[in-house]
A and B are shown apart, each in its own frame.
Chain A
Amino acid sequence: QVKLQQSGAELVKPGASVKLSCKTSGYTFSTSYMSWFKQIPGQSIEWIGMIYAGDGGTGYNQKFKGKATLTVDTSSSTAYMDLSSLTTEDSAVYFCARGLDYSAFPFAYWGQGTLVTVSS
């Protein structure tokens, strides 16, 4: 079955960077799309961007350009998201999700989320 396992919670200082991971299993990673999302507790969900594992091609929500960088490692079927120059406004739960079948949308399979807390 399809599984997306995200890395553990992070406590980081303002100005620092953090790299989140999303390890997948149960499907052919190299021909799939992966999207990433941000959710501040108690608020709605924002789509950050997506990456095609086949060639590393990316598409970003303009709001997150310069903040998030998406990459993949096909040898380990893992997707990554780097978040840079962190501020308290980046404190949130971040999710990865794969599209239905092998399309980009809708987002059918989700990781459990990674809580990022930015605090000095």
Chain B
Amino acid sequence: DVVMTQTPVSLPVSLGGQASISCRSSQSLVHSNGNTYLHWYLQKPGQSPQLLIYRVSNRFSGVPDRFSGSGSGTDFTLKISRVEPEDLGDYYCLQSTHFPNTFGAGTKLELK
């Protein structure tokens, strides 16, 4: 299975500040069709995961433009600018290029 390594495990931030989360895969996430199936989720305490970014850099409906995704191959980044209280929680990257789908271990975004 593809291993997804997220760093850092915990990320203290100040409200209004910027956060950056890294996700690296154990093999390239470029599918044979040319697409890269790397997605980002936020899970708030006691809630279901919510889709933020799909296929590296596409924001899901309703996701503020403070969230942006980038990367290629095996190295991906989620950036959050102007952090707001509702952004706090656990962030996960997910790869859907290779079977089975696999998630990263998560990054906890918390207040400094």
Binding site for B on A (CB under 8 A): 35, 44-47, 49, 59, 61-63, 95, 97, 100, 104-108, 110-113
Contacts and interface: CB of A to CB of B under 8 A. Distances in A.
Interface of B: 37, 39, 48-51, 54-55, 60, 92, 94, 96, 99-106
B2 to A, nearest CB: 12
Contacts of B106: 44
B99 A59 contact: yes
Contacts of B39: 105-107
Contacts of B103: 44-47
A45 B49 contact: yes
4 shortest A-B CB distances, which residue pairs?
Answer: A105-B96, A110-B48, A47-B101, A61-B100
Contacts of A107: 39, 49, 51, 94
B48 to A, nearest CB: 4
Contacts of B48: 95, 97, 110-113
A104 B101 CA distance: 11
Contacts of A62: 100
B99 A100 contact: no
Given A49-B100, A106-B54, 4 more contacts: A105-B37, A106-B39, A107-B94, A110-B50
A92 to B, nearest CB: 14
B74 to A, nearest CB: 18
B97 to A, nearest CB: 9
Nearest to B39: A106
Nearest to A6: B48
A108 B102 CA distance: 16
B96 A106 contact: yes
A13 B92 CA distance: 32
A112 B99 CA distance: 25
Nearest to B40: A106
A27 B101 CA distance: 24
A44 B50 CA distance: 14
A1 to B, nearest CB: 11
B45 to A, nearest CB: 10
A46 B104 CA distance: 10
Contact of B60 (A45, A49, A105, A108): A108
